Structure 1
């Protein structure tokens, strides 16, 4: 009995290590885009990655046919949205790096842009994940894309007002 359990635990650890080795880079890049941090200093992005991987590991045995990357990405997105909304907790009141091309976007615009364009998540799935109508996701993506592609004169990033930042 103990041998079977030890073998299962060893197999689980190897499977997760292989997943984490393959997915960590892309998930970290997505987290860096979400937080709009500089590549040389990204503690918030690394914290998001660590939490997403820990969540995925905790659910590893229950995934049964689900893509673990989707699980990790979903947790990354919802955790970012929740902590950005509250502006407290693990991420504090950090502002995006002004050198980042995504710094001019609101947190929700960054989230939609990363999910839609970087991760390739369909509008319907993004809308379901964020609890928004599909039309709102489409509008946010269009606005964010226009802002990134056609930046206006250099200006300070929009304030992250907790009441309006994610609406």
Structure 2
């Protein structure tokens, strides 16, 4: 009995290691996009990924034909949304890396945009995952895309010491 359990445990570990070897890079990139951190300095993204992978490993035997990548990505997204909600209030503004392309987006906009455009998750699946109406997901994605394509202008520099010529 113990030998069988040991061999099943070893098989489980090998399968999970193979999954992580193939998927961890892309999942880390997804987490880094969500947190809007710099790719080489992304402690929040790494923590988010570690939690998602731990959750996937804990439920590995119960996947039964489910795609472990989808399960891990879903947990990553939900965990990010939950943390952003509680940390910044109603998915408010986080403090992303200023050099990040996604820095001008609110966490909810980043989440929807990353799931829809980077991960290719359908609108209906994104809506179901986040508990939002499909129309809301569509509107958030459109707004986030528009913000990326037409970023807000920085404030104009203050004019100091300028003399106005009298005419």
User: Does the TM-score normalized on the shorter chain lie above 0.5?
Assistant: yes
CA distance in 1, matches of 2:39, 2:127: 29
Q: In the TM superposition, what are the counterparts of 1:65-104 in structure 2 within 5 Å?
A: 65-87=65-87, 95-104=95-104
Q: In the TM superposition, what are the counterparts of 1:24-39 in structure 2 within 5 Å?
A: 24-39=24-39
Summarize deviations over 1:47-106 as a string: whole Å, max 9, x none.
Answer: 001001000000000000000001100000000000000107xxxx96101111101000
- Structure number with the bigger relative contact order (C-alpha 8 A, sep ≥ 6) is 1
**What are the ranges of 5 or more consecutive residues in structure 1 without an aligned counterpart?**
156-167
Name the SS of the counterpart of 1:87 in structure 2: helix
| Alpha-carbon shift at residue 9 of structure 1 (Å) | 0.4
Matched positions, count? 151
What root-mean-square deviation, in Å, do the aligned CA atoms of Structure 1 and Structure 2 show? 1.3
TM-score, normalising length: structure 2: 0.88
| Alpha-carbon shift at residue 134 of structure 1 (Å) | 0.3
- After TM superposition, the runs of 4+ consecutive aligned structure 1 residues lying more than 2 A away are none
**What are the ranges of 5 or more consecutive residues in structure 2 without an aligned counterpart?**
156-167
Q: Is the 8 A contact 2:31 2:46 kept in 1?
A: yes
Summarize deviations over 1:110-143 as a string: whole Å, max 9, x none.
Answer: 0000000000000000000000000000000000
TM-score, normalising length: structure 1: 0.88
CA radius of gyration, larger in: 2
